[in-house]
Amino acid sequence: MCCGIKALVTWTSERAANIARERLGGAGYLMVNALPNAIGSAHAGITAEGDNAVLMQKVAKEILSGM
């Protein structure tokens, strides 16, 4: 369950931070907006403990084995 939640949260946070940066244009890169930190944290969350696709496969395997 935790693996699935982690994958969904990091995918969503990276997408939200990137959309916000794109909407702000050049101002999205300013450190005062704190978006570079959010993007960096989201990206680290996606890659630090393994690819999210692998985590989602683990979740699917556990769910299917429980059935």
Question: Which pTM was predicted?
Answer: 0.60
Listed residue (11, 20, 17, 22) closest to 55, CA to CA: 11
Domain spans of the chain, in order of start: 2-66
pLDDT at 56: 78
Predicted local distance difference test score (pLDDT) of residue 48: 58
Q: pLDDT per residue over 3-61, tens digit each?
A: 778 778 888 888 888 888 888 777 766 767 777 777 777 777 776 555 677 777 778 88
| CA triple 32-34-36, angle to 5 deg | 115
Please tell me the predicted confidence (pLDDT) of residue 7. Answer: 78
